[in-house]
Amino acid sequence: MFYKDTLLKQVLKPGRYTGGEFNQVIKDPEQVKCRFCFAFPDTYEIGMSNLGIRLLYGSLNEDPDVYCERTYAPWVDMEDQLVKNGITLSSHETGTPLCDFDILGFTLQYELCYTNVLNMLRLGHIPVLSSERGEDDPIVIGGGPCSYNPEPLADFFDVFSIGEGEEALVEFAHLYIDMKASGQYDRRKFLYEVSKVPGFYVPSMYEVTYNEDGTIKSFCPKYDGVPAKITKRIIKDFDKAYFPEKPVMPFIECVQDRITLEIMRGCIRGCRFCQAGMIYRPIREKSPSVLNEQAKRTYENTGYDEISLCSLSTSDYTGLRELTDGLLSWTDDRMISLTLPSLRADSFTDELMQKVSSVRTTTLTFAAEAGTQRLRDVINKNITEEEVIRACKVAFAAGKTAVKLYFMIGHPTETDEDIAGIAELCKHIIDAFYEVEDRPKGKPQITMSVACFIPKPFTAFQWEGQDPLPEFRRKQQLLGHLCSDRRIKYNYHDADGSIIEAVLARGDRKLCRVLLEALGRGMKFDAWSEFFSSEKWFRLFEDCGVDVKFYAERKRETDEILPWDMIDCGVSKEFFIRERKKAYEGKTTPSCAEQCAGCGANRLGGECTWCPNTKK
């Protein structure tokens, strides 16, 4: 424990800051050549649940030359104590102040954590602006899904890792070690060398110019040898990828406290609004036998009583039966339960219901995303009302009375008929409950959870405009009026938060000064309802002269230079343009399991499970 007892007694959850957890890695800092700290820009409970952090922490620590430690965003009570006592935010393993590390790595999971990133730099006594860091300051690197459009953070990061980091970050650390050892290291030279390594983007090596209307005129490397495009890194052989069999076990209750088996990367479905489904392509499955062994060893090292089979669409995993049979052969006796976080209504079966305890014990959730078949075809959801109703009937027949359905409003081409379709579908599910002969006693309870569409980079809808705030609110109210049935519970997200997310997700470098100003105004924890204030954000944009409509509502032409165009995520722009055209024609694209749609991701190598043309 590195923070004093007297200080920890002043905060709500001291267990967030003590370190010393079971399975944490302890090395002698004097015996390593590179000291790396992983920073999670949200609370300990959320960070400890993140599989990406577990993977990267473990893979970096496998290397005897590198010592990777961890830190998390301090809650406001702890921040007050740090500031009041003049203490620098430090790592969990050795209590080293963040400013004393060689490298500080942030994972960027959602846009509303950006203010926390800046605040952690400040509390770690590291200059917030990359241009103000000196030779003794750490190199600050970012990665994770938001690094696919890193531009709103370009001024704060020295470098971004694009794609999967398990191998890339070890390579990065070794470039640092080698340059230090050979006496060639200085900050600028190092960043120049990094910019030439595949999968790394160094914002200071590029110049951006703008047209009078604020759109990007040009985006060019400043120096010879710096690539114009940065292609993401992937792990080609997923069976051989590092897996954390000794995860650090949290001291306090976390959001997810279990063994997480990542069974597949990428998604075969191709929903046109979904960024994750595209940026994690090509699709790679891990073999059931490898997963089974990894689960056994992790169980032996942790004693967890729950195994989660995780991927973007778990029921699409081709080895699901073999895997669940293999796991159940030893988990049942030990009272270990299996859970599936993501189910599709069209592949939800009675057999799955029997095998998987999460399916037996919790409310079943299906993502329908839109209320009419026309709109589900536009977004390429490839699911029918009959399939959703069939899945709900399976659940009702097995004794459930409650199901939850996810929808999104604001999709391109949406009309009021599509909004009415959401209410209609929920009513049809209620009718279906009464059609099930062996239904449970009581009334059905349908939760209708409705999010707002955000046009994200690297999707077929990346050029689309987002609905204005009054239009989102009108649609939300309309749906409320159409759902007066007390058996339907209506949850919806605040539209203003989705608009701010859209601005940050599609933003360019001009937003850096807005984030800097947000830091100055003390903004943080924007992903938390108790801190998020849309008034503060809209006032901030206005004071900084940023037009929200330009970033969120404006529809782009497909030949406009987008802020993230320098990144190659594997899936080609031509594919996104084709998919967008098909969306407007109401045409669907079959899943990769039926036919490869030629998205382009297979050219990165890696075994794209279904693709006949994979470069191996």
Q: Which residues bind ligand SF4 (CB under 6 A)?
A: 281-283, 592, 596-599, 601-602, 608, 610-611
Closer Cβ to ligand SF4, 243 or 575, answer by number: 575
- Kindly write down the DSSP assignment for every residue of 288-345, as one continuous string: HHHHHHHHHHHHHHH--SEEEEESSSGGG-TTHHHHHHHHHHHHTTTTPEEE-S---G
Nearest distance in Å: CB 575, ligand SF4: 8
What is the SS3 assignment for 38? strand
Distance of alpha carbon 320 from its chain centroid, rounded? 24
Nearest distance in Å: CB 281, ligand SF4: 4
For β-strands 364-369 and 206-210, DSSP reports them as unpaired
Closer Cβ to ligand SF4, 468 or 605, answer by number: 605
Q: Encoding tokens for residue 88?
A: 């620098």
Closer Cβ to ligand SF4, 518 or 569, answer by number: 569
Residue 50 makes CB contacts below 8 A (sequence gap 6+) with: 40, 107, 109
Rounded-to-integer distance, Cα 474 and Cα 448, Å: 17
Q: What is the DSSP letter of 35?
A: E
Closer Cβ to ligand SF4, 279 or 364, answer by number: 279
Contact 369, 381 (CB under 8 A): yes
Q: Encoding tokens for residue 120?
A: 């952690």
Count other Cβ atoms within 10 Å, centred on residue 538.
Answer: 16
Residue 55 makes CB contacts below 8 A (sequence gap 6+) with: 165, 166, 242, 243, 244
Nearest distance in Å: CB 564, ligand SF4: 19
Contact 257, 304 (CB under 8 A): yes
Residue type, 614: T
Residue 236, burial from CB neighbour count under 10 angstroms (0-12, 13-18, 19+): middle
Residue type, 465: G
Count other Cβ atoms within 10 Å, centred on residue 481.
Answer: 8
Token match 């509502």: residue? 553
Q: 543-574 as b/e, with b when 16 or more CB fall inside 10 Å?
A: eeebebebbbbbeeeeeebbbbebbbbbbeee
Closer Cβ to ligand SF4, 237 or 547, answer by number: 237
Nearest distance in Å: CB 43, ligand SF4: 35
Rounded-to-integer distance, Cα 567 and Cα 200, Å: 10
Closer Cβ to ligand SF4, 316 or 385, answer by number: 316
Nearest distance in Å: CB 133, ligand SF4: 39
How wide is the angle at C-alpha 325 spanned by C-alphas 322 and 330, nearest 5°? 135
Count other Cβ atoms within 10 Å, centred on residue 175.
Answer: 17
Contact 322, 328 (CB under 8 A): no
Residue type, 573: K
Closer Cβ to ligand SF4, 155 or 285, answer by number: 285
Nearest distance in Å: CB 589, ligand SF4: 8
Nearest distance in Å: CB 236, ligand SF4: 14
Nearest distance in Å: CB 579, ligand SF4: 10
Token match 């604020």: residue? 214
Nearest distance in Å: CB 275, ligand SF4: 14
What is the SS3 assignment for 119? helix
Count other Cβ atoms within 10 Å, centred on residue 258.
Answer: 19
Rounded-to-integer distance, Cα 471 and Cα 481, Å: 15
Nearest distance in Å: CB 102, ligand SF4: 37
Count other Cβ atoms within 10 Å, centred on residue 424.
Answer: 16
Closer Cβ to ligand SF4, 119 or 602, answer by number: 602
Closer Cβ to ligand SF4, 495 or 592, answer by number: 592
Nearest distance in Å: CB 147, ligand SF4: 21
Nearest distance in Å: CB 266, ligand SF4: 6
What is the SS3 assignment for 282? coil
Nearest distance in Å: CB 318, ligand SF4: 13
Closer Cβ to ligand SF4, 78 or 264, answer by number: 264
Nearest distance in Å: CB 273, ligand SF4: 17
Nearest distance in Å: CB 261, ligand SF4: 22
Closer Cβ to ligand SF4, 116 or 614, answer by number: 614
Q: Calculate the alpha carbon distances from 130 to 145, 153, 222, 268, 370 in Å.
A: 21, 10, 17, 39, 43
Nearest distance in Å: CB 605, ligand SF4: 11
Residue 479 makes CB contacts below 8 A (sequence gap 6+) with: 409, 419, 422, 423, 448, 450, 490, 492
What is the SS3 assignment for 61? helix
Q: 25-63 as b/e, with b when 16 or more CB fall inside 10 Å?
A: bebeeeebbbbbbbbbbbbbbbbbbbebbbbbbbbbbeb
